[in-house]
Amino acid sequence: MANKYRTHKCGVLSEKEIGKEVKVAGFIENIRDHGGVIFVDVRDDSGVIQVVSNDDSIFEGITRESSVSISGVIRKRDEDDYNERITTGTIELLVDNIDILGKAKNVLPFEVMTSHEVAEDVRLKYRYLDLRNPKVKDNIIFRSKVIDFLRKLMKKEGFLEVQTPILTASSPEGARDFIVPSRKFHGKFYALPQAPQQFKQLLMCGGFDKYFQIAPCFRDEDARSDRVYGEFYQLDLEMAFAEEDDVLQVGEKIFYETFKKFARGKKISKKPFVRLSYKEAMERFGTDKPDLRNPLELIDLTEVFAETTFRPFRGVTVKGIVVDGISDKSNSWFNELVEFANEIGMPGIGYFKVMDDMSFAGPIDKFLSEEERDELIKVAKLKPQSVIFFIADRNKAYKYASQIRDELGRKLDLIDKNEYCFCIVKDFPMYEWDEEEEKYIFTHNPFSMPQGGMDALEHKKIEEILAYQYDFVCNGIEMASGAVRNHDLDVMKKAFEIAGYSEEELEKKFQALYEAFKYGAPPHAGMAPGIDRMLMLLLDEESIRETIAFPMTAGGSDLLMASPSEVSEMQLREVHIKIRDKG
């Protein structure tokens, strides 16, 4: 039986249909009055067709963005009226009849075709209109294609797709949980999963060899440009009887094949990706998420100034960045960098220029001894017309140096925007000292296997213990995290003991893993690429929210559904909750 609304989609019509009776359905994109002749553009998800009538009264009462069904005959346009910007630009539909299926208000909240120029909160409140913008819609279609590709790739690699629970137990590690009150169990709560971490490990204990899922994850964390509030999706995977390199090779294949398929002509790092230890990444780039498109690297100058009389460099970490051939930059150029340093919390940034005779020009020069000058030339490999920038701080030298490196890369146009540059950062410290709690805490995933196992936990200095943990990084953005898991209960107990957990606490908070590891748990390892971040890079979007059909605002509200919202007293009573007054 024929569809009563349409026989063809708008964008697929061509000169082959000239003279044929057709019916299309879509939204009124535009209404143009050309001196008594009215032209109407009708849009569906395949494209646009121009509609005309010998009787202009047929268009009476229609409004832009109304949904319509239009029947008529396809005819050739006059050559002077060809529109090369659309696929149907040589034809038009001569109308016989218009049915208004859903009439739109006369005044729209914004122009659909320019919705990107509207404030984000307005776009999100009327997201259904925003989604009619072909650019916005194309992002969501692109998302579907990438996820479909990932599914097929994982199944081809022998991974089994398994769905894990959404209602689960609250986790004491990581970000804040979203908790769900229980009606059946008075005073108790479920939690939405921050990640399927424990479930995927339990699948390995259950004898599955390779697992994956397109997993929704829920974290009560503030949004950033590369992180949405509340909910995000990751390609979660785990492998039994696997070592670190097994997972890294799978990760390289996932990222390389996906970006090769969807990168639209941009360059992609060859496999194997550059691998850096955490220590090397920090020393060379000041961050564990380095943008390797930027050729600038940090130089450690702490020893050079160990005995200096220049107070800002005494007793602190001193990092340097050398840039060749920029000594002729204007004073305003350097002043802009000083202003940037102030904006990120530095009191300023020291630098000097290297002259042709290898003397130094700059305010810091007069504070240096001849020995320090000679050592700087040697350690920093200074050349005539280069400039060296100094970043000195007791606690934040690496952080500041990384930000200055990034800013120099931008200002000097060193970043190739047509390149996806991947690296793997590994060998993270297992623990770090928490100043507030005055104890050692887990640096990353608490379920990671320490390098060296029990022997390392018992005999190494705590700050020297490394974990089998790894991140995939692209263009300065963390794309995936993973680890070889700790599957040995004795090692697990010792690892948590160092972080201040008693065995009773471990058993209570991680009951399932604690018990499962008593029944022959296999070695296992995994990772979780972030799908939203992959899409953000592939689509070259500045905000991750542009990759999601119905995102929340950066502040965590859903303007479309008016969420979060109040609930009734009856609903609260059913789940045994009473709301206390603020303060």
In tens, the pLDDT along 53-112 reads 988 889 988 999 999 999 999 999 989 889 999 999 999 999 999 999 999 999 999 999
**Mean per-residue pLDDT for 202-210?**
98
pLDDT of residue 173: 60
Q: DSSP secondary structure string, 139-164?
A: HHHHHHHHHHHHHHHHHHTTPEE---
Listed range (219-223, 283-287, 570-574) with the worst mean pLDDT: 219-223
Token output for 75? 């005819």
**Mean per-residue pLDDT for 108-133?**
96
Token output for 55? 């009787």
Alpha carbon distance 243, 270 (integer Å) = 22
pLDDT of residue 221: 87
Q: Please enumerate, as own/partner, the contacts of 310-318 that have beta carbons within 8 Å and a separation of 24 or more.
A: 310/364, 310/367, 310/368, 312/350, 312/392, 313/390, 313/392, 315/394, 316/392, 316/393, 316/394, 316/397, 317/392, 317/393, 317/394, 317/397, 317/398, 318/390, 318/391, 318/392, 318/397
Q: Would residue 347 count as lying in a domain?
A: yes
Under the banding of pLDDT at 50, 70 and 90, the label for residue 225 is confident
pLDDT of residue 364: 85
**CA-based max dimension of the chain:** 92
Q: Would residue 351 count as lying in a domain?
A: yes
Token output for 128? 């259904």
pLDDT of residue 475: 97
Q: Would residue 466 count as lying in a domain?
A: no
**Letter for the amino acid at 360?**
F
**Mean per-residue pLDDT for 423-451?**
93
> Do 449 and 484 form a contact (C-beta atoms < 8 A)?
yes
- The CATH number linked to 48 is 2.40.50.140
Alpha carbon distance 270, 256 (integer Å) = 8
Instruction: Identify the domain boundary among 374, 391, 415.
Output: 415
CA-atom Rg of the chain in angstroms: 30
Q: DSSP secondary structure string, 451-511?
A: TTHHHHHHHS-GGG-BBSEEEEEETTEEEEEEEEB---HHHHHHHHHHTT--HHHHHHHTH
Tens of pLDDT along 475-512? 999 999 999 999 999 999 999 999 999 999 999 989 99
Whether residue 435 is predicted with pLDDT greater than 80 in this model: the reply is: yes
Q: Is 215 helix (H, G, I), strand (E, B) or coil?
A: strand
Q: Would residue 207 count as lying in a domain?
A: no
**Mean per-residue pLDDT for 405-412?**
97
Instruction: Identify the domain boundary among 386, 415, 444.
Output: 415
- How many residues comprise the chain? 583
Average pLDDT, the chain: 94
> Do 223 and 554 form a contact (C-beta atoms < 8 A)?
yes
The range of the structural domain enclosing residue 389 comes to 294-415
State the DSSP code for 217: E
Tens of pLDDT along 346-377? 988 999 999 999 999 988 888 889 999 999 99
Domains: count for the chain = 2
- The CATH number linked to 359 is 3.30.1360.30
Whether residue 141 is predicted with pLDDT greater than 70 in this model: the reply is: yes
Tens of pLDDT along 20-56? 999 999 999 999 987 778 899 999 999 999 999 988 8
State the DSSP code for 396: -
In 314-379, DSSP assigns E strands to 317-323, 350-354, 360-361
Instruction: Identify the domain boundary among 415, 449, 483.
Output: 415
Whether residue 172 is predicted with pLDDT greater than 80 in this model: the reply is: no
Q: Would residue 472 count as lying in a domain?
A: no
